[in-house]
Structure 1
Amino acid sequence: MASRCLYHATADELAALIAAGGLLAELRRGYDELIGGKLNPQEVGSWRNSIPAVVGLLLEAGLGEVQVLIELKTPISDVRMDMVLIGSVPGTGQMSLVVVENKQWQWAAPGPAPELVVLSRSPNARPHSHPIRQVWDYRQVLVDYIPLVRQSAKVYCIVNMHNATSENLAAIKPTAVGLEYDTSSVRMFCSDHRDHFKNALRAVLSPDMAADHAQEFLEAPVLPTESLMALVSESVCERSVFPLLDEQRDAYEYVRAAVNASKRGAPKEAILIVGGPGTGKSVIAVELLGVLNRHGIRAVHAAGSKSFTLTLRDNVERVNRRAARSFSYFNSYTHATPHDIDVLICDEAHRLRETSDRRRHFDDPRQGKPQVQELIEAAAVPVFLLDEHQLVRRGEVGSVRLIHDVATDMGVKVQQIDLRHRFRCGGCPEYVTWVEQLLGLGWEHGPQRWRPLETFELYVARTPADMEDFLRAKQGEGRTARMAAGFCWPWSDPQGDGTLVEDVQIGDWRRPWNSRAEREKNGVPPSSLWATHPAGFGQIGCIYTAQGFEYDYAGVIFGEDLVWRGDGWQARRQANKDSQVNGAPRFGELVRNTYRVLATRGMSGAVLFSNDPETNHMFERLGIPLVSGRGSRGWR
């Protein structure tokens, strides 16, 4: 995988394009090819106003042959950098990159921490990352994930505040807010700093070899991202390891600021971080857990999934047994002393239950204290991370509205931060959108024709054997892969020797569900470790063992509880074997949410197969390419 941008030209060529009035048309064309979907008018405004300002300065500085990459996609996500200038370090010929972050701001004030600023005088204004922190994060992603950059280039950062004077931004100067940064690599310029801006560009950029360096950079291989579980112990026990970009950084810094404010006696506040699959909610959670505990702040991670919690514990326990105690469950705080914990990080908060009373039946009219109230009371700073479209089980009630309502009733303010950018699924929001449209979740349009993407592979298999062969080949290449299915087959307990019964039967193809056991036996991993244990491949996972996890390639078997008939989906209770779901009032929604979760576990690709021929044919009609395999002519 190489780097991509919306448009690439020299500063001279861009100046000519701007003069001819063609810049916006070229950028729209690049956007449609690389990103697709609706274009934000604010983004267009930035293109119209900011890009000419930087191009003009390059020409005035005598740098017309410098290469300019507009809207460069970051290596690990769908976040895009406004501009990257490429040339040589003057006098050396070494590759020089300048990451430019353009801001339309006319005014800004300090936020609750040096790393945060606010753009409104309202007391409820949502803080944003300081632009110097933001552009530095972009630099680090280039250095960390493109070996060529780390080994061969100098990377500099500029924040272009061309709409604001230095007087209007004096309050957020790094020296004024106490922001620590590398002054030799990062600079911020306002509208009255044009000469300083030009001098800074001349100091780090020469047009020598610019075209060669740009081609080399765009063709340079990008390292694949590692999964959360592969690095969680290092993140929790040793140091920050995951990159945080844009709203991820906003959320992370806001929580840290809220902790400091709480220590000073500020009113209690709950923080709600909302995002879809792959937006990095769990990454934020473990990064916060690590940094807070390393600074002597008692932070605890809580979740509603046994598999997710036990896997986190297992990975961290190998490095630090004491740190592994930081992972708990939502129902662990029924009798907690209020504010006994500094920070309670509630991950996967869509899995919250109405109450923590396990004995209470779903339809029992008796009400205990709401579980979300227990969690808010237990910590000085409660943090909730959730995705409302991951409600997959009867009795799960976690939602944005629930948390707002309960907190408001308790007199607790809620700060909500929405995550927009994708870090899973190849950093492709297009794929997640396509899945949601396919399943009729939150979009006006139904299933759309599949358009191949450079950073994410999608296939349809005509047999489960074809799917398994493809995924096994990926395993052989050193990638991780798993198959998961809708809960449409019976699920037997392991036999006495640990052997698993091959319950999932499709034609003459048979495989077992993942083990129900809680301990490894004869090489068969327990249910909680199916997604991460090397022996998990070959067993079929379900929503309860797959939710919250990620692997490189996801195989998804659609059972007959969701089939396509005519021009729409039909949800069939009789085909579903999950007693927690098939009796639920919103059965159809829960089943579609289940397949959304399963289909978005893959970081690099996915393979779909439906046990229902008509549904599988619908996948093919959408233009999804077939995987080749021994059974590609069909098993029926």
Structure 2
Amino acid sequence: MQRRFFEIFGESADSGEARSWRNSIPTVVERLTAAGLGGVQVLLEMSSPLTDIRMDMVLVGSRPGDGRMSVVLVENKQWSRVAPASDSELVRPGNSRTGMLKVHPVNQVWGYRQALLDFIPLLRDADVFCIVNMHNADRAVLNPITPSAQQLSEVGEMRGFARMYGHGEERFFERALREFLSAENADTYAQELIDAPVAPTEPLMSAVSSGVRNRSVFTLLDEQREAYDYVKSRVAKSKKSDHKEVVLIVGGPGTGKSVIALELLDWIGRNGHRAVHATGSKAFTVTLRTKADAKSSRTRQIYQYFNNFSGAAPNDLDAVIADEAHRLRSAGHRSNEQESPQVEELIRAARVPVFLLDEYQRVRPSEVGSVELITKTAEAMGIGVHTIDLRHQFRCGGSPEFLSWTERLLGLDDDGNPPEPWRPQSGFELHVASSPSAMEEYLRARLDEGYSSRIAAGFCWPWNKPRPDGTLIPDVVIGDWRHPWNAKSDHPLEGAPSSSLWATDDGGFDQVGCIYTAQGFEYDYAGVLIGPDLVWNGTGWAANRSANMDTSIKRAPDFDLLVRHTYRVLATRGLRGAVLYSTDPETNRFLTEDLGVPVL
């Protein structure tokens, strides 16, 4: 397994993971063989669809009696002690007072089941079961964390599909395996599962349009679920004991921050608590209002802006969910320079202020949101802070490699690693276009296939007002290729959606978006025009202030960093692929010849 792990991932498994394999896998194999199921196929460390999360064991065979494909997901835990966390679906392994909070293992494996059913159509005609293998813990330890004892929210749905067994319960484990599996057609079914196509994930705003206010439409996995359950527990605790706590949820593009925010908003509202979603992005908030019900006054109350909280009464809300909190502004963001900083206003307004942010998405000098700022502000106000790190990537077709590659390319890697050659990834396409026309042709073909796609650019071209007849001027000119920027207007113009809806309206493809209309959104394929404000000079990136038309950042002391943040955001909007084109020939040559990105 260690050799195979290195072949697939290019790095060694850590010692804890190898120890888990050694200690846990044999306990399941022993149960299979004792149950007479030695012919069942066992897939180890299989990736969950569209993510880099790996499931411990996937057992594949057929359902006894009818021969249909049957799959059992096994989550192995080496915990010998574990206790429920009060007012929560979370658990504490080890010491019940000081142990780190973890996702309930049944919720964890149940999330994997939901993801498989959501994204692998093959399994919708199969039986999919879940088992948590707690081989070091006896029944006395497990009783307090059984789904019914801990009142897990999905306990009704889980009944019959999810089981948990501990030390001394080997016979029950074997009985369940015989109930769920036979070895008939196991080889065939296992290969079909390995080869099964994965359905593309639904873009966030499409899912919101499907009814986020009426039902849960997102599957939350691992750290996502941990964040969701933790905030729920803090809201419940605040109602019982007047408790106040700040929650920080930190993660890069595609880690599901906005998904968590909207799922929390839905749960809090359905359970009779008061919560508001807030951002610093007009485009994001307007789009959420439009998808939910733009004409409703309640919708406008629920989806607000960071600058709406100056007059809020302390703890008037049960929760305020500050999405895209890297866009928080400093004091003096209004005309009155004596105003409090936005972060203070948001913390003051709710019992559980939740901040979701990615510090590498700060693209204007006035944006000050950071882990350090929020933490120091909360501590100065005498309020505790709990931070959750979302390390898994859920965008880029399940290719965290693309985000890592982009960060190394732009010199934003935390470890200072240099750019590296591109390694083609399953489920994600990366190209360098030979011209803007080639980019447009490729992306329009994806559009014709039913996928969403957009072209966005660095702010390196003038931006004129529309003509008197409402048509847009083609300001973005590269050779003989000419296209207009997205409309500046809040209202649709001739064939162009309003600026706030550029990323989600069908008419947005014919205009070039900018950082302010692309940030916070996602589409299947992202085209990125890299302007002369950032070029590769043979040894590194050179940022050129004079080539940038954005007056808000061109004078910033950290212009070089902000412009690299901008291109990172634009490149990581695509769920299934990205196409890059630089106006600088040397930069394109570097991407294609030195880094091996294929050319369109």
What TM-score, normalized to structure 2? 0.96
| Residue aligning to 2:6 | 28
Matches of 1:321 and 1:216 in 2, distance apart? Answer: 50
Percent identity between the aligned chains? 55
1:219 aligns to 2:190 (yes or no): no
1:250 aligns to 2:221 (yes or no): no
| Residue aligning to 1:315 | 291
Change in CA separation of 1:124 and 1:336 when aligned onto 2, cut-off 3 Å: farther
1:190 aligns to 2:163 (yes or no): no
Instruction: Please state how far the C-alpha of 1:294 moved relative to its aligned partner.
Output: 2.0
| Residue aligning to 2:274 | 298
Counterpart secondary structure, 2:421 = coil
Instruction: Please state how far the C-alpha of 1:513 moved relative to its aligned partner.
Output: 0.8
Contact 1:274 1:416 in 2 (8 A): yes
Change in CA separation of 1:590 and 1:246 when aligned onto 2, cut-off 3 Å: same
Matches of 1:66 and 1:319 in 2, distance apart? Answer: 56
Q: How does 1:204-603 map to 2 (within 5 A)?
A: 204-317=180-293, 322-355=298-331, 357-359=333-335, 368-441=339-412, 442-603=414-575
Change in CA separation of 1:319 and 1:159 when aligned onto 2, cut-off 3 Å: farther
Matches of 1:427 and 1:25 in 2, distance apart? Answer: 23
Instruction: Please state how far the C-alpha of 1:162 moved relative to its aligned partner.
Output: 1.6
Counterpart secondary structure, 2:169 = helix
Q: Give the residue type in structure 2 aligned to 1:141.
A: A
| Residue aligning to 2:35 | 61
| Residue aligning to 1:84 | 58
1:167 aligns to 2:140 (yes or no): yes
Task: Report Cα offsets for 1:406-463 as digits up to 9, x if no partner.
Answer: 0001111111111111111011111100000000102321110000001110000121
Matches of 1:85 and 1:327 in 2, distance apart? Answer: 44
Q: Give the residue type in structure 1 aligned to 2:258.
A: S
Matches of 1:88 and 1:236 in 2, distance apart? Answer: 35
Instruction: Please state how far the C-alpha of 1:57 moved relative to its aligned partner.
Output: 1.9
When structure 1 is superposed on structure 2, of 40-49 and 318-327 the one drifting more is: 318-327
| Residue aligning to 1:16 | none
Contact 1:236 1:323 in 2 (8 A): no
Counterpart secondary structure, 1:578 = coil
Q: Give the residue type in structure 1 aligned to 2:335.
A: R
Matches of 1:174 and 1:526 in 2, distance apart? Answer: 48
Matches of 2:98 and 2:366 in 1, distance apart? Answer: 33
Matches of 2:15 and 2:437 in 1, distance apart? Answer: 47
Counterpart secondary structure, 2:140 = coil
Task: Report Cα offsets for 1:73-114 as digits up to 9, x if no partner.
Answer: 112322221111001111221111000011121211111345
Q: Give the residue type in structure 2 aligned to 1:425.
A: C
Matches of 2:291 and 2:132 in 1, distance apart? Answer: 39
Gaps of 5+ in 1: 1-22, 361-365, 629-636
Change in CA separation of 1:120 and 1:55 when aligned onto 2, cut-off 3 Å: closer
Matches of 2:596 and 2:274 in 1, distance apart? Answer: 48
| Residue aligning to 1:631 | none
Instruction: Please state how far the C-alpha of 1:355 moved relative to its aligned partner.
Output: 2.2
Q: Give the residue type in structure 2 aligned to 1:583.
A: R
2:71 to 97, 101, 105: 97
Contact 1:114 1:178 in 2 (8 A): no
Matches of 2:597 and 2:420 in 1, distance apart? Answer: 14
Task: Report Cα offsets for 1:217-271 as digits up to 9, x if no partner.
Answer: 2222222111110011444321111110011111111111111101112421011
Q: Give the residue type in structure 2 aligned to 1:208.
A: E
| Residue aligning to 1:154 | 127
Counterpart secondary structure, 1:176 = coil
Counterpart secondary structure, 2:25 = helix
Q: Give the residue type in structure 2 aligned to 1:26.
A: R
Q: Give the residue type in structure 2 aligned to 1:156.
A: F
Change in CA separation of 1:559 and 1:614 when aligned onto 2, cut-off 3 Å: same
Counterpart secondary structure, 1:115 = coil
Task: Report Cα offsets for 1:173-220 as digits up to 9, x if no partner.
Answer: 334323325331111111221222112111211101111111222222
Q: Give the residue type in structure 2 aligned to 1:24.
A: Q
Matches of 1:260 and 1:142 in 2, distance apart? Answer: 31
Matches of 2:21 and 2:204 in 1, distance apart? Answer: 35
Change in CA separation of 1:112 and 1:428 when aligned onto 2, cut-off 3 Å: farther
Gaps of 5+ in 2: none
Instruction: Please state how far the C-alpha of 1:501 moved relative to its aligned partner.
Output: 1.1
Matches of 2:116 and 2:33 in 1, distance apart? Answer: 26
Q: Give the residue type in structure 1 aligned to 2:228.
A: Y
Change in CA separation of 1:320 and 1:295 when aligned onto 2, cut-off 3 Å: farther
Matches of 1:424 and 1:279 in 2, distance apart? Answer: 7
Q: Give the residue type in structure 1 aligned to 2:136.
A: N
Matches of 2:259 and 2:332 in 1, distance apart? Answer: 26
Q: Give the residue type in structure 2 aligned to 1:316.
A: A
Matches of 2:355 and 2:365 in 1, distance apart? Answer: 20
Aligned length: 596
Instruction: Please state how far the C-alpha of 1:122 moved relative to its aligned partner.
Output: 7.1
Q: Give the residue type in structure 2 aligned to 1:610.
A: S
Matches of 2:349 and 2:542 in 1, distance apart? Answer: 43
Q: Give the residue type in structure 2 aligned to 1:166.
A: R
Matches of 1:87 and 1:125 in 2, distance apart? Answer: 37
